[in-house]
Structure 1
Amino acid sequence: MLSKNCADYSNYSDYADDSDRLSLEHPNHNDRGDRHDYTDRSTQTINKALVKRVREHVNPLSDKYREPTPAPDWEQVYGDWSKPLSLDIGCGKGGYVLEMAKLYPDRNWLGLEIREPLVHRAIALKNSLMDECDLSNLHYLFCNVNVTLPSLLPAGKIHQVSILFPDPWFKRRHKKRRVVQPELVTSLTNLLVPDAEILLQSDIEEVATSMREVFEANPNFVNQAGIDNFASASLYPEHVMTEREEWTISQAKPVYRAYLKFKPIN
């Protein structure tokens, strides 16, 4: 259960829809997400005073995103770096990973996002809640995950990976911009602990199928629902629903989920 002293911010959408276009101006901060001058304002004031439009999609193959983001000192970032790490790739404004960090304080949570202003917004919200909640197990980082991940974390550190409602990139010529690529899956095999969980979601069947198939093509990952199958709601692990997932269900539309585990063959 959520702490009674912690507000519920699960409605901070993690999906690249129209609501994701509002974000904080870039505040000055370091990679640790240290507090800023506006942390004593209410969240409502922060949202009204420091918002601007953010591009709904960014091209991860452009030169701007080809440099890896340096890894911070993880011992300084987290209150206890020895905790199991859950990684949310494409965290948007960070609402999902924020709520999961509050629900599961025995884990560290890391949200990665390629749209830098959204990372600043997530950090600002986290900082505004620090007097109410212990969020020393939560961190956000701006990066292009396909470029940064291989050098970001030590081997055998990640216990769970979630990729929820990623940018679909519908056009055939743009599919190489999708976040789930074979190279990403290969990078993860060096960072995961055995039996680490992979959680995938989309409201677009073709996108969900593509993500699932890329993981299934790597022999180190086992689909818990059986190859070529999506996971039922009962099989899929308990989680906080993102705003996009809630909206999709409210419209009586399907959410396509895949649940895999890392079973290293070597």
Structure 2
Amino acid sequence: MSEPHGPLRSYGRLKSRPIKPRQAALMDTLLPQIRAPAEPFDPRALEPDAAEVWIEIGFGGGEHMAAQAARRPDVLVIGAEPFLNGVASAVRHLDEQGLSNVRIHDGDARALLERLPEGSVDRVFILFPDPWPKARHHKRRLIQPDAIEALARVLKPGGRLRFASDWADYVDWTLERFLASPHFAWPAERPDDWRRAPADHVTTRYEEKRLGDCAPVFLDFVRR
């Protein structure tokens, strides 16, 4: 991610349907208050008393992000999502639950990672990202060597990263690339370690749709 790249782009539509009036109002009022800074920043400056800093990349409708933030009010959660409908849904969840420990980057996650200091993040979630199943589209997948390098840069030693997918090929793709990285370890010891949802996982409506070709797989990596 530190290497030069073309204009930041999230493939697909940035808006798929009209945003509901209440959500649109929150986009104008709440979002500017909780938007992550547009310049390089230290997350600890946003919440000096936060016990940890977590990031969710591609938070979809924000259900998981909001639930984790509600469970751990002592943690600062930063979510990245380029799709406006997802951001609109997320700000509604945050408003309804009165959550103040969340910041949102409404754009490409690469730009967010580039603005964070080295070793400033304790945990990362990448849950059910777009699998781009056609071989000619694999280059659009989020999990690429440069993304893994960027994630390794911002994660603290011992920091954790959870990847989940219900597409078998994307699971294999991800595992192969993380195992090839010198920065991450995969401490799984038995099939249940990846076949069963972790105790702290929050199931979302998207996950329940089972749109993939396999049961959900959870890969928890540790920053060396």
User: Structure 1 residue 260 and structure 2 residue 221: aligned?
Assistant: yes
Q: 1:221 to 1:85 in 2, by over 3 A?
A: same
Residue 202 in structure 1 maps to residue 197 in structure 2: no
Match of 2:34 in 1: 33
Higher helix share: 2
- Per-residue deviation, 1:79: 4.4
More deviation, 153-162/92-101: 153-162
- After the TM superposition, which residues 73-152 of structure 1 pair with which residues of structure 2 at under 5 Å, given as runs? 78-80=46-48, 82-130=50-98, 135-146=99-110, 148-152=111-115
> What is the distance in 1 between the residues matched to 2:39 and 2:18?
24
Give CA-to-partner distance per residue, 1:94-150, whole Å, 9 cap, x none.
1101001001112111111121332133123322432xxxx221122112123x134
> Deviation at 1:93?
1.2
Question: What count of residue pairs does the alignment treat as equivalent?
Answer: 202
User: In the alignment, is the contact (CA less than 8 A) between 2:195 and 2:218 conserved in 1?
Assistant: yes
Bigger radius of gyration: 1
1:70 aligned to 2:71? no
> In 2, are the aligned partners of 1:230 and 1:256 still within 8 Å (CA)?
no
- DSSP 3-state at the match of 1:87: strand
CA distance in 1, matches of 2:77, 2:102: 5
Which residue among 5, 19, 24 is the counterpart of 2:19? 24
TM-aligned CA deviation for residue 70 of structure 1? 2.1
Contact 2:132 2:138 (C-alpha < 8 Å) held by counterparts: yes
- Aligned: 1:190 with 2:153: yes
Paired with 1:183 and 1:204, the residues of 2 have a C-alpha distance of 22
Structure 1 unpaired stretches of 5+: 1-19, 35-68
Structure 2 unaligned regions, length at least 5: 1-14
Match of 2:200 in 1: 238
Q: Does 1:160 align with 2:114?
A: no
Q: Helix, strand or coil for the counterpart of 1:28?
A: helix
